[in-house]
């Protein structure tokens, strides 16, 4: 009797899931940990054993060291790329820290870490671990084994090129390779002495979690499917509904031919499989004939058709009970859920941020030809406000980028124009480039990938602006009295959240996205005489988190309208104060993240820490009030009020606390979104 399809799938899964010799194994780490339990260890020893990326403390630099922002890696014209270490990304850059973009000494007089020290020098398995064969990168068969269990998006691209092209620049594709995520997760691990566990990685890198790749392993050395973050199989190889599981979901292991789960039932796949010979399709890994490999079955999975599939990662709480993602709870209590509008309709529909239907298209291509009838096609760009600050050789994902390793990409100085005709005409024999960029052909090939990715990033940025503007309306200026010379000028703007789905802003509150109103008054001579929502010289808003405000360099912005949600702690005793990280900083020697001793339901928030929300609920509004002092209204004539909402995914002071590189901060500042910019003329008598 021939085995059934389910039996074949089960047999394939069991065969492919056997752990090879080179797979990640925790036994060596556990054995060493057991040996150390017999003697107490200090916090520094514990951190060293966990092999976290800590910058050596014995190295310091001159007090006046102050690299130029965005150019700290520029070499002399006659020695390119060798004498300076790549500082383009946190994944292989120096962590200057400090209190300013330039990375100089902090306000307390502490010394800055050596900018030429690689922060990843302490990352990765130790030599002792290497003896046990846990370094996956050393085994030439390792990536093949990983692909047989967890196929990458590159494998799915053959049949689904449209979905791949949409996904490769999306927030899901960016989840793992994001420098901000890597720094945030590293900082949380160090601050909590490892007690945060796999909380962050479970959502951002589900394949890494399931492969049990140690936290100490650099993302640069992980298998390609790990760098894909929330890749195809993270949603389409899930066959159980996990609800609020804090990102803890199980991907069903299996090769490319194993079943996938979707919202249509797989009728198109069944027709293709029935005509496999005429279509030249390969249905199992043993088939070596020419043709296109596909999965043998498509199965219907109800949660993928509604908002339930989003909840496990978009409604999460970290100990001691702080909700870092609250968007699903906001959605469930909002008008969109009551009307039956799903998350997918706004974030995967035809129009960014609006439930206006889906595009109709062929869902798959077989041998470069559209297959089946046109039907609803969900957009896998996942419309949202995020943007990338990673090196464009690493992100967006590109099918030809795997010609070079991630570490090689980080050495490619795309800002200097490498690979462009203008630059290559200036290259002479005295210039030295790091391998593999020491040949003109490689530089030109890499430039084509870089240019394609930069164009894709610009599309993503435009879509992010469109998504935010779809939910936002600025009403005003609203004035009770006409402005007069020598009198204070009072006015207001009303900010509307016209979305029915969730609060504005929302998303990952752990990163505390900022959305603020920037208003400026220009006098009849064209001079800006007053402003609110301005930035200090470090890129921070002029509030209590600004170093320049604290040191008296810039005045505090008393009229600031900022919709950022913040963490408040009382540090065991005392009044509430703002904190950049979701940690209830206890006074213990080790800051452990632990469940609260008092039920959250009693206090309505965990002990010692709570969140202060400033966001606007769906279909609601808030009013920003402003007062321009009489001293700046000196002339009669026509004044101009210019206004815009500004959005960025992380505050700059937060980035400094987790030791983001100056280049990361510069990219965050450069990618700030300007929403609904407008000007209004006002007559002053």
> What integer is the mean pLDDT of 470-488?
94
Q: Among 433, 459, 485, identify where a domain stops.
A: 459
Asked whether residue 556 falls in the same domain as residue 625, the answer is yes
Measure the CA–CA gap between 355 and 338, rounded to whole angstroms: 14
Distances (CA, A) of 449 to 262, 336, 421, 423, 442: 32, 40, 15, 16, 11
Asked whether residue 539 falls in the same domain as residue 488, the answer is yes
Residue 90 pLDDT class (50, 70, 90 cuts): very low
Contact partners, residue 374, CB within 8 Å, separation at least 6: 360, 361, 362
> What integer is the mean pLDDT of 293-310?
93
Asked whether residue 551 falls in the same domain as residue 633, the answer is yes
Q: Is 112 within 8 Å of 96 (Cβ atoms)?
A: yes
Residue 674 lies in a domain: yes
Phi, psi of 571 (to 5 degrees): 50, 50
pLDDT at 215: 81
Sign of CA dihedral 622, 627, 632, 637: positive
Asked if the model's pLDDT at residue 244 lies above 90, the reply is: no
Asked if the model's pLDDT at residue 364 lies above 60, the reply is: yes
Asked whether residue 478 falls in the same domain as residue 519, the answer is yes
Q: Is 532 within 8 Å of 591 (Cβ atoms)?
A: no
Residue 109 pLDDT class (50, 70, 90 cuts): very low
Greater confidence, 404 or 195? Answer: 404
Residue 547 lies in a domain: yes
Q: Supply the Cα-derived Rg of the chain in whole angstroms.
A: 27
Residue 316 pLDDT class (50, 70, 90 cuts): confident
Phi, psi of 498 (to 5 degrees): -85, 0
Is this structure's pTM higher than 0.85?
no
Greater confidence, 449 or 62? Answer: 449
Query: What pLDDT, in 10s, does the model give residues 283-301?
Result: 998 888 889 999 999 999 9
> In this predicted structure, which of 51-60, 138-147, 280-289, 349-358 has the lowest mean pLDDT?
51-60
Measure the CA–CA gap between 451 and 414, rounded to whole angstroms: 9
Asked whether residue 549 falls in the same domain as residue 490, the answer is yes
pLDDT at 506: 86
The CATH number for 506's domain is: 2.60.40.10
Residue 421 lies in a domain: yes
Average pLDDT, the chain: 79
Measure the CA–CA gap between 429 and 434, rounded to whole angstroms: 14
pLDDT at 64: 30
> In this predicted structure, which of 53-62, 231-240, 263-272 has the lowest mean pLDDT?
53-62
Asked whether residue 449 falls in the same domain as residue 538, the answer is no
Residue 481 lies in a domain: yes
pLDDT at 317: 81
Query: What pLDDT, in 10s, does the model give residues 7-35?
Result: 434 443 333 333 333 333 333 333 433 44
> What integer is the mean pLDDT of 462-491?
94
> What integer is the mean pLDDT of 97-119?
33
Residue 196 pLDDT class (50, 70, 90 cuts): confident
Could you give the angle at which helices 5-16 and 142-149 cross, rounded to 10 degrees?
150
The contacts found for 84-87 with CB under 8 angstroms, 24 or more apart, are 85/116, 85/118, 86/410, 86/411, 87/115, 87/661, 87/662, 87/663
Residue 251 lies in a domain: no
Q: 643 - beta bridge partners?
A: 519, 678
Measure the CA–CA gap between 628 and 65, rounded to whole angstroms: 40
Query: What pLDDT, in 10s, does the model give residues 29-68?
Result: 334 334 434 444 444 443 443 333 333 333 332 233 233 3
∠ CA 474-477-478, nearest 5°, is 115
Number of folded domains that form the chain: 2
Q: Among 435, 459, 483, identify where a domain stops.
A: 459
Measure the CA–CA gap between 325 and 346, rounded to whole angstroms: 18
Measure the CA–CA gap between 105 and 111, rounded to whole angstroms: 6
Asked whether residue 526 falls in the same domain as residue 643, the answer is yes
Q: Among 410, 437, 459, identify where a domain stops.
A: 459
* Three-class DSSP category at 173: helix
Asked if the model's pLDDT at residue 530 lies above 80, the reply is: yes
Asked whether residue 487 falls in the same domain as residue 560, the answer is yes
Residue 199 pLDDT class (50, 70, 90 cuts): confident
The contacts found for 263-268 with CB under 8 angstroms, 24 or more apart, are 263/300, 263/301, 263/304, 263/305, 264/298, 264/300, 264/363, 264/375, 265/298, 265/299, 265/300, 266/297, 266/298, 266/299, 266/300, 267/298, 268/298, 268/363, 268/364, 268/371, 268/372
pLDDT at 33: 37
Asked whether residue 412 falls in the same domain as residue 557, the answer is no
Asked whether residue 505 falls in the same domain as residue 533, the answer is yes
Query: What pLDDT, in 10s, does the model give residues 545-556?
Result: 899 999 999 999
Asked if the model's pLDDT at residue 96 lies above 60, the reply is: no
* Closest C-alpha among 7, 294, 254, 297 to residue 145: 254
pLDDT at 107: 26
Asked whether residue 451 falls in the same domain as residue 493, the answer is no
> What integer is the mean pLDDT of 172-177?
96
> What integer is the mean pLDDT of 353-368?
93
pLDDT at 242: 86
Residue 179 lies in a domain: no
Asked whether residue 445 falls in the same domain as residue 526, the answer is no
Measure the CA–CA gap between 107 and 673, rounded to whole angstroms: 30
Contact partners, residue 423, CB within 8 Å, separation at least 6: 416, 417
pLDDT at 245: 82
Greater confidence, 324 or 522? Answer: 522
> What integer is the mean pLDDT of 637-648?
96
Distances (CA, A) of 350 to 43, 383, 429, 499: 52, 10, 52, 16
Torsion of CA 254, 235, 211, 246, to 10 degrees: -150
Residue 477 lies in a domain: yes
CB crowding 637-667: b at 16 or more within 10 Å, else e: eebebebbbbbbbbbbbbbbbbbbbbbbbbb
pLDDT at 671: 93
Asked if the model's pLDDT at residue 480 lies above 50, the reply is: yes
> What integer is the mean pLDDT of 309-322?
83
Query: What pLDDT, in 10s, does the model give residues 397-445?
Result: 999 999 999 999 999 999 999 999 999 999 999 999 999 999 999 999 9
Domain that holds residue 507: 471-565+613-684
Measure the CA–CA gap between 465 and 386, rounded to whole angstroms: 9
Residue 446 lies in a domain: yes
């Amino acid at each position: 009797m021939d085995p059934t399809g389910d039996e074949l799938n089960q047999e394939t899964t069991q065969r492919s899931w056997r752990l090879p010799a080179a797979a990640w194994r925790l036994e060596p780490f556990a054995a060493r940990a057991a040996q150390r339990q017999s003697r107490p260890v200090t916090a520094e020893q514990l951190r060293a054993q966990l092999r976290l990326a800590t910058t050596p403390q014995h190295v310091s630099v001159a007090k006046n060291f102050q690299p130029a922002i965005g150019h700290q890696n520029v070499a002399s014209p006659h020695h390119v790329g060798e004498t300076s270490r790549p500082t383009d990304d946190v994944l292989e850059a120096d962590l200057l820290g400090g209190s300013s973009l330039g990375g100089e000494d902090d306000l307390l007089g502490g010394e800055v870490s050596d900018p030429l020290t690689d922060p990843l020098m302490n990352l990765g398995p130790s030599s002792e671990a290497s003896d046990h064969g846990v370094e996956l990168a050393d085994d030439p068969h390792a990536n093949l084994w990983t692909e047989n269990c967890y196929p990458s998006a590159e494998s799915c691209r053959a049949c689904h090129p449209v979905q791949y092209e949409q996904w490769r620049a999306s927030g899901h594709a960016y989840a793992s390779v994001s420098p901000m995520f890597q720094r945030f997760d590293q900082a949380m691990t160090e601050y909590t002495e490892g007690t945060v566990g796999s909380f962050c990685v479970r959502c951002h890198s589900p394949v890494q979690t399931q492969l049990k790749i140690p936290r100490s392993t650099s993302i640069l050395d992980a298998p390609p499917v790990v760098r894909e973050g929330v890749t195809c199989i993270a949603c389409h190889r899930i066959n159980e509904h996990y609800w609020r599981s804090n990102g803890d979901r199980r991907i069903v292991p299996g090769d490319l031919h194993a079943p996938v789960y979707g919202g249509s039932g797989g009728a198109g796949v069944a027709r293709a499989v029935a005509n496999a010979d005429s279509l030249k399709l390969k249905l199992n890994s043993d088939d070596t004939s020419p043709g296109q490999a596909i999965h043998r079955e498509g199965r219907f999975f109800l949660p993928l058709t509604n908002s339930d599939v989003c909840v496990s990662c978009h409604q999460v709480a970290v100990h001691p009970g702080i909700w870092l993602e609250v968007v699903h709870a906001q959605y469930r209590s909002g008008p969109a859920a009551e009307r039956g509008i799903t998350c997918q309709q706004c974030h995967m529909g035809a129009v960014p941020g609006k439930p206006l239907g889906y595009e109709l298209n062929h869902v798959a291509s077989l041998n470069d030809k559209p297959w089946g009838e046109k039907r609803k096609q969900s957009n896998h760009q996942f419309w949202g406000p995020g943007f990338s600050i990673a090196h464009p050789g690493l992100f967006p994902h590109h099918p030809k980028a795997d010609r070079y390793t991630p570490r090689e990409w980080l050495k490619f100085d795309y800002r200097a124009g490498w690979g462009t005709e203008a630059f290559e005409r200036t290259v002479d024999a005295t210039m030295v480039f790091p391998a593999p960029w020491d040949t003109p052909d490689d530089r030109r090939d890499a430039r084509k990938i870089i240019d394609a990715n930069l164009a894709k990033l610009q599309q993503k940025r435009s879509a992010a602006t469109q998504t935010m503007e779809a939910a936002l309306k600025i009403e005003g200026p609203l004035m009770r009295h006409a402005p007069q010379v020598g009198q204070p000028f009072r006015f207001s703007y009303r900010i509307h959240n016209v979305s029915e789905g969730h609060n504005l802003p929302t998303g990952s509150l752990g990163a505390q996205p900022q959305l603020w109103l920037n208003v400026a008054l220009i006098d009849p001579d064209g001079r800006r005489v007053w402003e609110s929502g301005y930035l200090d010289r470090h890129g921070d808003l002029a509030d209590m988190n600004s170093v320049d405000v604290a040191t008296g360099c810039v005045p505090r912005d008393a009229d600031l309208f900022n919709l950022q949600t913040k963490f408040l702690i009382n540090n065991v005793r005392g009044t509430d104060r703002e904190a950049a990280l979701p940690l209830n900083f206890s006074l213990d020697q080790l800051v452990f993240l632990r469940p609260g001793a008092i039920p959250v339901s009693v206090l309505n928030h965990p002990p010692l820490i709570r969140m202060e929300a400033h966001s606007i609920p769906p279909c609601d509004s808030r009013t920003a009030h402003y007062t321009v002092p009489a001293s700046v209204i000196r002339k009669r004539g026509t004044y101009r009020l210019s206004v815009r909402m500004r959005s960025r995914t992380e505050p700059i002071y937060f980035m400094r606390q987790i030791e983001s590189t100056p280049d990361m901060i510069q990219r965050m500042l450069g990618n700030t979104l300007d929403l609904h910019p407008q000007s209004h003329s006002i007559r002053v008598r």
